[in-house]
A and B are shown apart, each in its own frame.
Chain A
Amino acid sequence: MESMTGPMGVPARTAPGRAPGTAPLDEEPLLRLRGISKRFGAVQALYGVDLDLPRAKVTALCGDNGAGKSVLTKTIAGIHEPDHGQISWEGRPVTIRTPNDASALGIETVYQDLALADNLDIVQNMFLGRERMSGIFLNEDSMERAAAQTLAELRVTTVRSIRQPVATLSGGQRQAVAVAKAVMWNSKLVMLDEPTAALGVAQTRMVLDLIKRLKDHGLAVMVISHNLNDVFEVADRVAVLRLGRMVAQADISTLDRESVVDYMTTGVSSRVVPGPTSQRPEA
């Protein structure tokens, strides 16, 4: 069997160093990161990270606490600007400096801390920064209807009023609002940073179903999760970060729970999973 890891600890079989242009067009991922580095003062959070997020696939981003998953997410979302590295979107190089740049491309994010304003109500949060206007005034009715529709689609039916401040919601409800906020824009990539961490069984189910639906509608989804059951249920691909380095990126069929844990904890895995090899095109 071939060696599992390349020079940077990246499994050789995902061939990150494949010469540009050799891939057929339909294989070009929606988002492609190459050599992304990010440093905060003394902390090097990301070391030359490569990541592909293809359309109509769920990519699970795994890694131990502090591995850099949230930093990577925020870099894609325009919260942090990377120190080095290239980002290409639909095959074109782009720079994402602000959250507005990200949402203009069609990137929506559910942050780990949810990023909700507690003093605002559900509708106000869902449309924050993208308020619907009629003339110079806010179009509250239109926003309220759209928010209600999205929540209904997500089967978030437990909130008493869509006009109650987010501060009054339970953890699961807040999570649901954050998810709803991300999916109500016609986005192409949705990233969810530990979206089920605060949820009960039923609501976790809801989010996992939602993730599958997003994928079925052709969106690229990146989901960060500690729960390997969830990962193996929804993910098509797995990417593993360890101490700021991307140590594995592979089709889920080539991995099992133990190998993912191996990558997360040691950066390598000696386990061999029977199944299709990595040379197989991912599309």
Chain B
Amino acid sequence: MSGPSAPDLATDLTAAVDAVPPPIIAQTMGEYWRTWLARVRGGDAGALPVVIALLAVTIVFTILSPNHVFLSPENLVNLFDQSAVFIVLAFGMGFVLLLGDIDLSIGYVAAIGGIVTAQLVQPTPNVPWPLAVLAGLAVCALIGLLQGSLVARLRMPAFVVTLAGYLIWFGVMILLLGTAGGVGVTGSQTNQQAIYSLVYGYIDPVIAWIGLVVFVAIFATVLWRRDIGRRRSGLVAPPLGLTMAKILLVAIAGIIVVAICNVNRGRDLPIVGVPYVIPVVLLVLLAWTVLLERMQFGRHVYATGGNTEAARRAGINVTTVRTMGFVLCSMTGGIAGIIYCSQLGGMTTNINGGQLVLYAVAAAVIGGTSLFGGRGRVMDGLLGGLVIGAIYNGLYLLGLPIQWQLIITGLVLLAAVSVDSFSRKRTAHA
């Protein structure tokens, strides 16, 4: 069926084809800039609000924190570690938000993922850590399959299914932790070390620099080759300057992060290097971005979230797409849970899964993902997660008690949702 585009029609129309001007989009930086301004005025601000928010939060906390400690390398690395959990949770939440659903259970599902992994690397089962990680993620994926099937196949509202899940997995978490009420991972046990080292293990500075160079080189090559390919086949490619700016931005961000992490932040013993969690987060970001933006499944996720009926009429199996959205959400939550487990040195019944859900939603929405489905990118979770992490970290530095952390995070979430609703209204009127 997927033959060439109705060649019959073309025969008497070849003249018309020649007469058509090429699609006009920005071909120079100036044009790009004007198009971008028009988009922002039209309500689609893209990454602008979250970048402004990140800058504002950074400036405020740098000024307010004692000795401007917010911007110290030690605190910034700490901030990356803390944000990692929110970021990866937001990656997961992104899948269901794109579908116009929500997963309120992700916090406790994440906790279960962390706990299963942590318990498997204990001396008694002594399962090798890669298998333990896979098992933890598999359990989360199964939970997602269960919840997703209830939502997609039985047409139960996601809100209710995952609210029930919130309670159920909270209970299961306590059951799993048993009378001990917790499970720990330490750096002294070989098998547990890998989990522990996610946050507390550091890449050798030289290797980090080499890794950064390789990463930027690959990124630049992929972007460059795509542009060249498009130009060669007569398609409009983004202006050269824009591509270079993107590459430069990634390189600069990478250099800043690696440089900060390579400053000695130890008090007594030297602590130097990029924590493993940073490349892990980047890997998840990359994988899910490719899945959502370069692969058929991702296209179907966006279509289903944007117009479920249109997707169905296009022959897309909407039920499977939605179910898989929940599976990927829970599984990514499991990755966040393992990071959290590393960060806390284990899991206890004190885990606040409710707060994790709110932070996950907040991070995704602050990053620019719509609560109404169909709009958002994986990258949103990274930027939004950094904002949430910075607020969490900064308020702690200021010595503000938890109640203020909650109130301020809530206000930021409200602001983000209002931006979302506002831009939605704008596009609806367009």
Give Cα A116–Cα B311 distance, bound, in whole angstroms: 8
Is there contact, CB below 8 Å, between B314 and A99? yes
In the complex, whether A44 has a CB less than 8 A from a CB of chain B is no
In the complex, whether B80 has a CB less than 8 A from a CB of chain A is no
Contacts of B430 in A (CB 8 A): 167-168
Is there contact, CB below 8 Å, between A119 and B16? no
Is there contact, CB below 8 Å, between A185 and B23? no
In the complex, whether B322 has a CB less than 8 A from a CB of chain A is no
Given contacts A141-B230, A162-B23, contact A117 B315 (CB under 8 A): no
Among A56-64, A81-89, A129-137, the stretch in contact with B: A129-137
Is there contact, CB below 8 Å, between B1 and A186? yes
Give Cα A151–Cα B302 distance, bound, in whole angstroms: 23
Is there contact, CB below 8 Å, between B20 and A157? yes
Among B7-15, B176-184, B349-357, B407-415, the stretch in contact with A: B7-15
Contacts of B315 in A (CB 8 A): 98-100, 103, 129-130
Q: What is the distance, in angstroms, from A220's C-beta to the closest C-beta of chain B?
A: 14
In the complex, whether A257 has a CB less than 8 A from a CB of chain B is no
Is there contact, CB below 8 Å, between A184 and B375? no
Interface of chain B residues 20 through 40 with chain A (CB within 8 A): 20-21, 23-25
In the complex, whether B303 has a CB less than 8 A from a CB of chain A is yes
Q: What is the distance, in angstroms, from B7's C-beta to the closest C-beta of chain A?
A: 8
Given contacts A115-B314, A117-B302, A117-B303, contact A130 B2 (CB under 8 A): yes
Within the complex, which residue of A117, A153, A163 is in contact with B310, where a contact is CB–CB below 8 Å? A117
Q: What is the distance, in angstroms, from A98's C-beta to the closest C-beta of chain B?
A: 7
Given contacts A115-B310, A145-B235, contact A186 B6 (CB under 8 A): yes
In the complex, whether B153 has a CB less than 8 A from a CB of chain A is no
In the complex, whether B299 has a CB less than 8 A from a CB of chain A is yes
Give Cα A157–Cα B9 distance, bound, in whole angstroms: 17
In the complex, whether A39 has a CB less than 8 A from a CB of chain B is no
Give Cα A131–Cα B4 distance, bound, in whole angstroms: 13
Encode contact with B along A68-82: 1 for CB under 8 Å, 0 otherwise.
000000000101000
Within the complex, which residue of A115, A138, A213 is in contact with B307, where a contact is CB–CB below 8 Å? A115
Is there contact, CB below 8 Å, between A149 and B17? yes
Within the complex, which residue of B235, B311, B375 is in contact with A129, where a contact is CB–CB below 8 Å? B311
Q: What is the distance, in angstroms, from B185's C-beta to the closest C-beta of chain A?
A: 35
Within the complex, which residue of B5, B21, B313, B374 is in contact with A184, where a contact is CB–CB below 8 Å? B5
Is there contact, CB below 8 Å, between A119 and B306? yes
Q: What is the distance, in angstroms, from A151's C-beta to the closest C-beta of chain B?
A: 8
Interface size class of B (residues with CB under 8 A): 35 or more
Give Cα A104–Cα B2 distance, bound, in whole angstroms: 10
Given contacts A119-B305, A141-B235, contact A128 B2 (CB under 8 A): no
In the complex, whether A150 has a CB less than 8 A from a CB of chain B is yes
Is there contact, CB below 8 Å, between B310 and A185? no
Is there contact, CB below 8 Å, between A138 and B314? no
Q: What is the distance, in angstroms, from B384's C-beta to the closest C-beta of chain A?
A: 19
In the complex, whether B155 has a CB less than 8 A from a CB of chain A is no
In the complex, whether A144 has a CB less than 8 A from a CB of chain B is yes
Give Cα A145–Cα B5 distance, bound, in whole angstroms: 10
Contacts of B311 in A (CB 8 A): 117, 128-129
Is there contact, CB below 8 Å, between B306 and A163? no
Which residue in chain B gives the minimum CB-CB distance to A105? B1
Q: What is the distance, in angstroms, from A192's C-beta to the closest C-beta of chain B?
A: 14
Give Cα A29–Cα B9 distance, bound, in whole angstroms: 22
Contacts of A99 in B (CB 8 A): 312-315
Is there contact, CB below 8 Å, between B299 and A138? yes
Encode contact with B along A6-24: 1 for CB under 8 Å, 0 otherwise.
0000000000000000000
Is there contact, CB below 8 Å, between B306 and A120? yes
In the complex, whether A92 has a CB less than 8 A from a CB of chain B is no
Q: What is the distance, in angstroms, from B334's C-beta to the closest C-beta of chain A?
A: 24
Give Cα A116–Cα B1 distance, bound, in whole angstroms: 20
Contacts of A227 in B (CB 8 A): none
Is there contact, CB below 8 Å, between A116 and B307? yes
Is there contact, CB below 8 Å, between B17 and A153? yes
Which residue in chain B gives the minimum CB-CB distance to A133? B296
Encode contact with B along A185-199: 1 for CB under 8 Å, 0 otherwise.
110000000000000
Give Cα A213–Cα B6 distance, bound, in whole angstroms: 12
In the complex, whether B399 has a CB less than 8 A from a CB of chain A is no
Contacts of B306 in A (CB 8 A): 117-120
Q: What is the distance, in angstroms, from B4's C-beta to the closest C-beta of chain A?
A: 7
Q: What is the distance, in angstroms, from B225's C-beta to the closest C-beta of chain A?
A: 12
Given contacts A159-B23, A168-B430, contact A128 B299 (CB under 8 A): yes
Contacts of B13 in A (CB 8 A): 152-153
Give Cα A164–Cα B26 distance, bound, in whole angstroms: 12
Within the complex, which residue of B10, B24, B310 is in contact with A116, where a contact is CB–CB below 8 Å? B310
Give Cα A112–Cα B4 distance, bound, in whole angstroms: 26
Is there contact, CB below 8 Å, between A120 and B302? yes
Contacts of B233 in A (CB 8 A): 141, 145
Is there contact, CB below 8 Å, between A129 and B294? no
Is there contact, CB below 8 Å, between B17 and A152? yes
Which residue in chain A gives the minimum CB-CB distance to B373? A119
Q: What is the distance, in angstroms, from B12's C-beta to the closest C-beta of chain A?
A: 8
Give Cα A66–Cα B301 distance, bound, in whole angstroms: 33
In the complex, whether B295 has a CB less than 8 A from a CB of chain A is yes
In the complex, whether B3 has a CB less than 8 A from a CB of chain A is yes
Is there contact, CB below 8 Å, between A137 and B314? no
Give Cα A116–Cα B302 distance, bound, in whole angstroms: 12
In the complex, whether B130 has a CB less than 8 A from a CB of chain A is no
Which residue in chain B gives the minimum CB-CB distance to A162? B23
In the complex, whether A217 has a CB less than 8 A from a CB of chain B is yes
Contacts of A155 in B (CB 8 A): 16, 20
Which residue in chain B gives the minimum CB-CB distance to A183? B6
Contacts of B21 in A (CB 8 A): 157
Is there contact, CB below 8 Å, between B9 and A213? yes
Could you show 5 A-B contacts with beta carbons less than 8 Å apart? A79-B312, A113-B309, A124-B302, A138-B294, A152-B13
Extra inter-chain contacts (14) besides given A79-B313, A184-B6, CB under 8 Å: A99-B315, A100-B315, A103-B1, A116-B310, A118-B306, A124-B303, A130-B1, A130-B2, A130-B315, A138-B296, A150-B5, A150-B9, A153-B5, A186-B3
9 closest Cβ pairs, A-B complex:
A129-B314, A119-B306, A117-B306, A119-B374, A161-B25, A115-B310, A128-B314, A100-B315, A129-B315
A residues apposed to B, CB below 8 Å: 77, 79, 98-100, 103-104, 106, 109, 111, 113, 115-120, 124-125, 128-133, 136-138, 141, 144-153, 155, 157, 159-164, 167-168, 183-186, 213-214, 217
